[in-house]
Amino acid sequence: MELHVPENEPDPEAAAPDERAAREREDDGGRGRRKRRPPRPRWFVITVGVIVTLVGVVVVTPLTVGLRVWYQARQDERPRSDAIIVLGAAQYNGVPSPTLKWRLQHALELYKQGVAPRIVTVGGKAPGDNFTEADSGRRWLVRVGGLPADRVIAVPVGRDTLQSFKAVGAEYRRLGLHSGVIVTDPWHVLRAKRMASDNGISPAGSPTRSGPSVQTRDTQYHYIVRETGGYLSYVLLGRSVHTPDETIKGVVPDNTGTPSTPPGHR
């Protein structure tokens, strides 16, 4: 005798697993059920958003500036300009230090290539010194480099890059000059160009490729980090960091505090 199961009735054996699962969930106190999370408070969402934004700014901004310092250091811009500006470095009783000499030699090469008709040397002097960086550079360019004296302008003012560029900007306005190719260490170019631009000079950068700042990867990393901080300090706070060890320390303007222009120069 055959047993017929109605088509509309569920198979007890097929339904058994589902029923067992339901009973297990009930026995488990409903813990197997997925609970819906309540929405987070608005203050929490805003606070997290602000924190994430601040962390992003703190991390991304220095990285971006560091990349700009690194990129600018590898550029050699030599447009036709009104003057070549040599930023100061240490001098010893009127004799340029190796760092300053490398900058002067590079500026001399740019002058001979016709980049600009004049060179501007920059920098004050340390307490007790008899010569400023600017005057030491000018003497070297005239006596050793063979440049006509009326082609070199000394601006012996500044305890740091910012003070020097304020003085150079004033001299530029007095002489009716507008553009300049800045000669300095590679990692210093980005900050120097920004300061020059803020003082009315249309800048380009042609860095030297010799000196302590480019000797090893470790020193390059050190100067990139330093110049990143220096650039941010200037842009955000309007301050200039101290000059590095291979340049001058504690320089002050000369007694007159005014630029020194060669006789007969216009």
105 versus 7: the higher-pLDDT residue is 105
Convert the pLDDT of each residue in 143-157 to its tens digit: 999 999 999 999 998
Does the pTM exceed 0.95?
A: no
C-alpha dist (Å) from residue 76 to 19, 72, 175, 184, 200: 80, 8, 26, 11, 21
Convert the pLDDT of each residue in 12-45 to its tens digit: 555 555 566 555 555 555 555 556 777 777 776 6
Convert the pLDDT of each residue in 154-174 to its tens digit: 999 887 899 999 999 999 999
In terms of DSSP bridges, do strands 91-92 and 95-96 run parallel, antiparallel, or are they unpaired?
antiparallel
Helices 217-237 and 42-73: crossing angle in degrees, nearest 10, is 120
- Domains of the chain plus CATH, in order, are 75-237 (3.40.50.620)
Helices (H), the chain: 12-27, 42-73, 98-112, 133-143, 161-175, 189-198, 217-237
CA pair distance 36, 38, nearest whole angstrom: 6
- Asked if 209 and 248 count as a contact pair (C-beta separation under 8 A), the reply is no
Q: What angle do CA 200, 201, 204 make, to 5 degrees?
A: 150
* Burial environment of residue 220 by CB neighbours within 10 A (0 to 12, 13 to 18, 19 or more): middle
Convert the pLDDT of each residue in 85-137 to its tens digit: 999 988 898 899 999 999 999 999 999 999 999 999 999 987 778 899 999 99
CA pair distance 16, 96, nearest whole angstrom: 97
Three-class DSSP category at 247 = coil
The predicted model gives 54-80 an average pLDDT of: 85
